[in-house]
Chains A and B, each alone.
Chain A
């Protein structure tokens, strides 16, 4: 992408980027711990991925290749908008292929293709505090984390079980990171939670509005919170098939045909779907 030379490389000034990188290092050193940082204002709305953008802008270099997805899709308007902002202020190469990207910024999904040790996945986080439902006050929840006092969230999950028959939340189901910090994985579906555990890649989480950065370094133990007699369950994607590439056992978007009312499915990961079709399509899952 052509770089706009009116702005510094990656928009933020070098001092701000260095400060954010220090916060990122702090976060990597303590997996799952929410590091407060001096979140900067960006030309994109707070709540629209500004935490992720600040991380990406702080770690990106001119030779990196970038992929941006929103809900798994490269073509979603917000993904397009973020890719354009980072692209025009850095001039880096962009891609839709997960395997080609050095940095992937994502909202609400982890790509289907497993990520490698040389890749970074940056997740945008609306609410970094898993204990917010326990207490609305930051001062209180910070203390609870410090004490490792997680009774509140366990009671929450138990109440959920009593009310709905399942202790599992929808998306953003909390995890225990490295056996120490309870953490919101960002609103990824539970389908993606296991990908955080002992992964090869580095996961960075940025919450711009809430001014927090946290991380899951490679090969970190990440367990989804659940009770011994209530096994963790991913969303049930069985019996579904992508109408474009024929993939099965991936996370799907659901559609209704306006004419027939027929229900159909399509890979939520648009880059993955495209790659399969280019390879010859409708091939079976490996």
Chain B
């Protein structure tokens, strides 16, 4: 029998999806969504940040559904987000209102409110902890209780009681002194790149939104390239803070009143960099991303500044930086290469055969 071209796409897809279920469910232990949410929280944070959707439970569900692939999990959240109507816009949130859990400055040794390391892997020796192979859950629970108790006692012994964690910004001191580049407050309606194509040249609101949703690896690599030699000099982290922000929306019936709808945890960075290419003066690069992700927030602040500076560096090319870091777009286009290209390839073959034919014809005549 002659060769039969591939058909039966429907059966093939169904079989492939069945295989995925098999791969996803390997082993004997069930994977609880709450376990992913609570114990893989940095991964959950990254998914929410790249998806632009703050939903820890859904992010954990997405991770369970796709064998823990970040690009697939982001994809699932984004597609789900497309189906949701947008009923409210939150009120403007200020990083200075953050309930801070981590806060450091590389610019000053001592800052009002102090340096607060919070949870960070920065000073952990990255040695595999083989004890975790057989961690005792009961012991762990007892340890957590004990820590909580100690903290409560510590609070009781604090004369002023618990603070709400609000700390002034480090750079406010420099701002008041007039040492930082003066930037005018922009209160115009921000651009929303999820509702319109990125305008070019992009307004800063669109730049920040795009960077905040960008793939972590992509913007980290670009920022590294920038500070290693293709862009500006070494920036100084004026302040990096991580904590929760309260989100409020306007109460539809009450003039000036608002509803508290929940909180989001973000990492916010203000980097100090030169105000002009090669010049002096201090400008600021800003980074703010969902969740605990120092590197992404710092990278964002570097790229924000690089795009403002407009130098010859590839990181100052807004279209290069902003159009190639969206998780869905880059992975979608790269993976489309797996689709059949028979028709276009046939057209290419025709061109080559035609050239060959005319060359042969040319030698004969």
A interface residue numbers (CB < 8 A to B): 7-8, 11-13, 15-16, 36-43, 45-48, 50, 70-72, 75-81, 84, 107-109, 126, 136-139, 142, 164-166, 168, 170-172, 187-191, 209, 211-212, 233, 235-236, 243, 251-259, 264, 266, 268
- B328-344: CB near A (< 8 Å → 1, else 0) gives 11011111100111111
Given contacts A47-B336, A137-B319, A264-B3, contact A253 B351 (CB under 8 A): no
Is B2 part of the contact surface with A, judged by Cβ < 8 Å? yes
Supply 15 further A-B pairs (C-beta < 8 A) apart from A45-B336, A235-B347, A253-B342.
Answer: A42-B79, A46-B328, A47-B334, A75-B8, A75-B10, A126-B336, A137-B317, A139-B201, A168-B351, A187-B343, A211-B198, A235-B350, A251-B343, A268-B343, A268-B346
Q: Tell me if B119 is interfacial: C-beta within 8 Å of chain A.
A: no
B75 interfacial contact with A, CB 8 Å: yes
Contacts A170-B347, A235-B350; A126 near B85 (Cβ below 8 A): no
5 closest residue pairs by CB, A with B: A46-B332, A47-B336, A47-B333, A36-B197, A80-B9
10 residue pairs from A and B, CB less than 8 Å apart: A13-B85, A16-B82, A48-B332, A75-B8, A126-B336, A187-B343, A243-B2, A253-B5, A254-B349, A256-B3
Rounded to whole Å, the gap between the CB of B72 and the closest CB of chain A is 10
Asked if A36 and B196 make an inter-chain contact with CB atoms under 8 angstroms apart, the answer reads: yes
Which of B79, B83, B328, B354 counts the most A-chain CB atoms under 10 A from its CB?
A: B83
Beyond A40-B82, A41-B81, A75-B9, is A170–B197 a contact (Cβ under 8 Å)?
A: no
What residues on A are CB-neighbors of B343 within 8 Å? Answer: 71-72, 108-109, 171, 187-189, 251, 253, 268
Give B60-90 interface residues, CB cut-off 8 Å to A.
75, 78-79, 81-83, 85
Residues in B neighbouring A236, C-beta threshold 8 A: 350, 353-354
Is there an interface contact between A80 and B82, defined as CB atoms closer than 8 Å? no
Which of A42, A164, A170 lies in contact with B82, CB distance below 8 A?
A42
Q: B residues within 8 Å of A by Cβ? A: 2-3, 5, 7-10, 12-13, 75, 78-79, 81-83, 85, 194-198, 200-201, 317, 319-320, 323, 328-329, 331-336, 339-344, 346-351, 353-355, 358
Contact A170-B348, Cβ < 8 Å, known A165-B355, A253-B5? yes
Residues of A within 8 A of B341 (CB): 71, 108
Chain B residues within 8 Å of A43, by CB: 79
A236 CB to closest chain B CB, in angstroms?
A: 6
User: How far apart sit A188 and B81, CA to CA, in the bound complex (Å)?
Assistant: 33
**Across-interface contacts of A264 in B (CB, < 8 A):** 2-3
Residues of A within 8 A of B353 (CB): 236
Look across to chain B and name the residue whose beta carbon is closest to the beta carbon of A8.
B83
On chain B, the residues within 8 Å of A259 by CB distance are 3
Enumerate chain A residues within 8 angstroms of B13, measured Cβ to Cβ.
Answer: 77, 80-81
Contacts of A72 in B (CB 8 A): 343
Residues of B within 8 A of A209 (CB): 329, 332-333
Query: Among A45, A70, A190, A235, which residue has its beta carbon within 8 angstroms of that of B75?
Result: A45
Contacts of B331 in A (CB 8 A): 45
**Nearest chain B CB to A141 CB, angstrom units:** 10
Residues of B within 8 A of A11 (CB): 82-83
A42 to B195 CA separation, bound complex (whole angstroms): 14
Give Cα A13 to B201, complex, Å: 29
Chain B residues positioned under 8 Å from A78 (CB to CB) = 339-340
Give bound CA distance, A256 to B12, whole Å: 22
| Nearest neighbor of B323 in chain A, beta-carbon distance | A138
Nearest residue, chain B, Cβ from A142: B200
Min distance, Cβ B348 to any Cβ of chain A, angstroms: 4
Alpha-carbon separation in the docked complex, A56 to B351 (Å): 33
**When A48-B332, A79-B9, A168-B351 are in contact, do A39 and B2 touch as well, CB less than 8 Å?**
no
Q: Which residue of B lies closest to A237 (CB)?
A: B350
